[in-house]
Amino acid sequence: MVGLHKSEFKNPVINWIDTRMPVFTMMQKEYGSFPTPRNFNYFWNFGALAMVNLVLMIATGVFLAMNYAPNSMLAFDSVERIMRDVNWGWLIRYAHMNGASMFFIVVYVHLFRGLYYGSYKAPRELLWMLGVVILLLMMATAFMGYVLPWGQMSYWGATVITNLFSAIPLVGKSIVTWLWGGFAVDNPTLNRFFSLHYLLPFVIVGVVFLHVVALHITGSNNPLGIEVKTPQDTIPFHPYYTIKDSVGICVFFIVLAALVFFAPNFFASPDNYIQANPLQTPAEIVPEWYFLPFYAILRSVPNKLGGVMMMFGSIAVLFVLPWLDTSPVRSARFRPIYRQLFWLLVISVFALGAVGAHRPQGIWVVIGRLATLYYFLHFLVILPVLGKLERPLPLPESISRPVLGGGKMPGGATAKPMEKA
Amino acid sequence: MRGLKRLSLSVAAAACAAMLAPAAFAQSGDKPEAKAPAHEISTVDIPVPPLPHIDWSFSGPFGTYDRASAQRGFLIYQQVCSNCHSMDQLYYRNLEGIGLSEDQIKAIAASVQVPGGVNDQGQPIERPGKPSDHFKAPFPNEQAARAANGGALPPDQSVLELAREGGADYLYAILTGYADPPPGVKLMSGMNYNTYFPGHQIAMPQPLQEGSVQYTDGVKPTLDQEAKDVVTFLTWAANPEMEERKQTGVRVILFLIFLTGVTYAVKRRVWSDLH
Amino acid sequence: MADTAAHSPHPGAGHGPGDGATKRDFLKMVAGAGALVGAGAIAWPLIDSMNPSQDVLALSSVEVNLAPIPEGSGITVLWQGKPIFVRHRTAAEIKAAEDVKLGDLIEPQSDADRVKAGHAQWIVLIGICTHLGCIPLGNKPTDPRGEWGGWFCPCHGSQYDTSGRVRHGPAPLNLYLPPYAFENDTKIKIG
């Protein structure tokens, strides 16, 4: 495909660039006229929200790094200096801190939306798997970012999580020492975590790009879970979804602002305002809320290696989910039994979150085990079997029909036909 | 997890109410096992009552620091707290934030001697403090602090309000929570009984009593008043940005609500030709 | 967020003329302007965070004891991260500085304007060449001081006289004066 691009842009400067490097044509194709199912609900905002959130995290992070000192002697004080002396430092740091929580909220909603509407099913398997890779990268980034303020939770969280790798037979100890760069979490650990915390977001950007490439090959799923059949089923991405996403982005910023300005430490642990002390573990070590369900799974297994494997396994099952779910029907709207089991999964994940926040005693152990059991049962047993047994409801003929009023009106009679698409 | 802990409880309750409700209690105060008072009671088994909720001047989305109260609190810090507790993150110049004038700040700073580098012979020297100096710590290092306090380390107070579950209410509860130990309770040597301290045995002797300080503004120094004043000061010290943060926040949120409304209106109009 | 459909050749995005269209365009402009304001409001704190922070701004003033500085020599002290030249001028140097015709100067300024009244033997300067920020030589009597007996910048050959005024380019301006005051005859406070 060597040769100049025949650009259709009128503006001479844009045309000149586009002829040589058709980025404008590409943007127009992928974000302007891109044919998108017309029946998205607001849950389809969350991909765009995650994108905005990622940009916000990188922007605030870059400016925080200008004042942060990745040294165990200086880190805690440098964060306090950001809060007190740097112009708007408190705003940037609180936005970064709460932005991390918002990022996970947004991505978890995005993920559960995919689960509900079967967005992981053929031909979108790779799209889904790239999403799981992004989630893993986010977790690594968030974990290392949490270490940077060098508070008590930073230190002990780092100790506990890195020690997970000691469960690996034979080489576990060596791996942990290698991760630490010493014989305990210390300055070398902080240094490398800072380096990686700065690097990984850009890796995330790369994988997000692939995620979007894959999305634009298969096209988006939609609440009905049926494929686009006619041009009437789609509308151009711009202006319809650019403006709809903008509404979501505004609401996103309201929630973020409410946290940052009025409850900046809502998600924070008080212990992280105490400087790291290698000689004293806080009475209760609790990871950040977005790790709680995984932490609960870890603790639900009384065996060290088993717990670690179950924890990583809980994400590994997501990788193979497209092949575990045998039902040809995507959307839970037309899967009466799956729909109920989906909510059971949501409940069990929330229950795991609550379990993770409490000491593993009494009833919490029982709840934790039941919820862990259901989590794996759901993916490994129920989904493969259910697809064979469940009788789905009749699927609508096309996307445009139910949108136009359950097929009462003839398709395309009221809406202008979308020429391109 | 200040807010989150409460939230996680309610979420858990919503998720499986019947199962979790009794468990939530078990968590928040380990079951008080009724032992015969004739035996020695471990203080760990005595439940901690819920914290008192004070209506602080800085509570709520429009809250501001009561300057007079914070200044009285600073007086208590100077005369009482600072004998043992450091305040490493603060500079004297920060006191502008509780309404002290530049001259007052200069005088306060000048009243302490701080390390002033070295003289021409290379010997370390001291000089009077300046507004740009950090608050002077009572002890040169942790060992000295422990040695002077029976082995216990008085925590730095710069971010103490943020570093304790319950924040300002907790600090107030500790300051006013000293009491005689219940019958049958034996305290470890050097320890004091406090109703609200986890485990109830606190190394810090009761720091404030009625009349611990003399206020210059005619306010009566009751224990309650002193505790409120010093907690106001400590909350300011941990969150000096709070007033600016809340004021900015109100403006930002009003703007965002407006922008959301306009954007939603545009969305309606853009989509109107589809329906 | 602020999307204007300026380049959208796509017919699906178009809409018919009429009242609805103008009202929509107005709303769009308000939303677009709002988005711009929002983007600016996000950008400003980030940009402003790179300005000097409160602890940097509050950096203490520096007191300098003048007594040990012999005539004809100078010292360099650090103030706000910058070298400050404090030079004890000889009578000949003062006279040289005072006798210059203002018309001969690149940036005309009298010597009296550059020292404190009654303390003409002390010249206090920010020791940064106004060309590209090097530190000129000349504080020590053994340094090269250039043709006018003041300071000589080794980077590009700018020369300053005993009042710190530029006499030979490429520097365009005289050496800057820091804010300072005499606490007494042998002590100044810079800042």
Contacts of B62 (CB under 8 A, 6+ apart): B246, B250
Alpha-carbon distance of B224 to B226, in angstroms, equals: 6
Contact A335, A392 (CB under 8 A): yes
Residue A8 has pLDDT above 60, yes or no: yes
Nearest chain C residue (CA) to A29? C10
**CA nearest to A307, candidates A135, A165, A137, A157:** A165
How many other C-beta atoms lie within 10 A of the C-beta of residue C86? 23
Per-residue pLDDT at C68: 86
**Cα separation, A333 vs A328, whole angstroms:** 13
pLDDT the model gives residue A172 = 92
Cβ-nearest to A92 among C1, C49, C51: C49
Instruction: Give the distance from residue A360's alpha carbon to the nearest chain B alpha carbon, in angstroms.
Output: 10
- Partners of B202 in the beta sheet? B192
- In three-state form (DSSP H/G/I as H, E/B as E, the rest C), the secondary structure along chain B is CHHHHHHHHHHHHHHCHHHHHHHHHHHHCCCCCCCCCCCCECHHHCCCCCCCCCCCCCCCCCCCCCHHHHHHHHHHHHHCHHHCCCCCCCEHHHHHHHCCCHHHHHHHHHCCEEEEEECCCCCEEEEECCCCCECCCCCCCHHHHHHHCCCCCCCCCCCCCCCCCCHHHHHHHHHHCECCCCCCECCCCCCEEECCCCCCEECCCCCCCCCCCCCCCCCCCCHHHHHHHHHHHHHHHHCCCHHHHHHHHHHHHHHHHHHHHHHHHHHHHHHHCCC
CB A5 within 8 A of CB C3: no
d(CA A314, CA B34): 42
- Determine whether C7 is an active site residue: no
Q: CA-nearest residue of chain A to B160?
A: A273
Residues of C in contact with A419 (CB under 8 A): 11-12
Q: Check C24 against B266: CB less than 8 A apart.
A: yes
Retrieve residue A202's tokens: 């850009």
A61-70, A295-304, B17-26: which range is least confident on average?
B17-26
Question: From start to end of A198-245, where are the E strands?
Answer: 234-236
| Candidates C3, C27, C64, partner chain B, best to mutate (most B CBs within 10 A) | C27
Cα B217 to Cα B226: distance, rounded to the nearest angstrom: 13
Global ipTM: 0.89
Contact B266, A239 (CB under 8 A): no
Interface-testing mutation among C27, C36, C46, with chain A (most A C-beta atoms within 10 A):
C46
By C-alpha distance, the chain C residue nearest B257 is C34
Those residues of chain C that have pLDDT short of 70 are 1-21, 23-24, 60
Q: Which residues of A are known to be catalytic? A: 216, 220, 244-245, 288
Residue A86 touches chain C, beta carbons under 8 Å: yes
Quote the CA–CA distance of B24 and B135 in Å, as a whole number. 42
Integer Rg of chain A from CA = 24
CB within 8 Å: B270 and C55: no
Please give the interface size between B and C, counted as residue pairs whose CB atoms are below 8 Å apart. 43
Which is the catalytic residue, given C7, C88, C156, C168? C156
Neighbouring CB atoms inside 10 A of B96's CB total 15
Q: Which residues contact B67 (CB under 8 A, 6 or more apart)?
A: B98, B99
Chain B contact set for A258 (CB, 8 A): 249, 253
Q: What's the DSSP call for residue C115?
A: S
Structure tokens, A292: 């709680």
Residue C65: predicted pLDDT: 84
Q: Are C127 and C84 in contact (CB under 8 A)?
A: yes
Q: How many angstroms separate the CA atoms of B230 and B81, rounded?
A: 9
CB contact under 8 A, B269 and C59: no
Residue with tokens 């602020």: C2
Question: What average pLDDT score do residues A167-187 get?
Answer: 94
- Rounded CA-CA distance A117/A106 in Å is 16
A14/A25 Cα distance (integer angstroms): 10
CA distances (Å), B221 to each of B73, B83, B202, C102, C132, in order? 11, 19, 24, 68, 61
**pLDDT over 80 (residue A406):** no
Tokens encoding B205: 């002797």
Give the model's pLDDT for residue C72.
83
Per-residue pLDDT of chain B (275 residues; tens, 9 = 90+): 556 555 554 444 444 443 333 343 344 444 444 444 556 678 888 889 999 999 999 999 999 999 999 999 999 999 999 999 999 999 999 999 999 999 999 999 999 999 888 877 888 989 889 898 999 999 999 999 999 998 899 999 999 999 999 999 999 999 999 999 988 888 888 899 999 999 899 999 999 999 999 999 999 999 999 999 999 999 999 999 999 999 999 999 999 999 999 999 999 999 998 86
- Our CA angle for A239, A227, A315, nearest 5°, is 90
Which residues of chain C lie closer than 8 angstroms to B133, CB-CB? 60
What is residue A54's predicted lDDT score, i.e. its pLDDT?
Answer: 98
Q: What is the mean pLDDT of residues A62-70?
A: 97
Q: Do C28 and B91 touch (CB under 8 A)?
A: no
> Would the pLDDT of A418 be above 70?
no
Query: Which DSSP string do the residues of A314-343 spell out, in sequence order?
Result: HHHHHHHHHHH---S---GGG-HHHHHHHH
Strand partners, B118: B124
CB contact under 8 A, A246 and C1: yes
**Residue A234 pLDDT > 60:** yes
* CA B217 distance to own-chain centroid: 24
Amino acid at A272: N
Checking if the pLDDT of A409 tops 50, the result is no
Compute the nearest-CA separation of B63 from chain C (Å).
23
Q: A157 vs chain C: nearest CA distance in angstroms?
A: 29
Interface of A with C in 232-291 (CB under 8 A): 235-236, 238-239, 242-243, 246, 249, 253
Half-sphere exposure (Cβ direction) of B60: Cα atoms closer than 13 Å: 7
Q: How far apart are CA C191 and CA C187, in angstroms?
A: 13
Q: What is the mean pLDDT of residues A301-309?
A: 91
Q: Which residues contact A353 (CB under 8 A, 6 or more apart)?
A: A289, A292, A293, A296, B8, B11, B12
Residues of B with Cβ-Cβ distance to C23 under 8 angstroms: 269
Q: Which residues of B touch C30 (CB under 8 A)?
A: 262
**Residue A91 to residue C45, Cβ atoms within 8 A:** yes
> Looking at the predicted structure, is the pLDDT value of residue A322 above 80?
yes
Contacts of A8 in chain C (CB under 8 A): 9
Please tell me the total number of residues recorded for chain B in this structure: 275
Q: For A205-226, how does the pLDDT look when each residue is reduced to its tens digit (9 = 90+)?
A: 999 999 999 999 999 999 999 9
Q: Is the pLDDT of residue A354 over 90?
A: yes
Contacts of B274 in chain A (CB under 8 A): 38, 235, 240, 415
Neighbours of chain A (3+ CB pairs under 8 A): B, C
Q: Which of A63, A236, A420 sits opposite C46 (nearest CB)?
A: A63
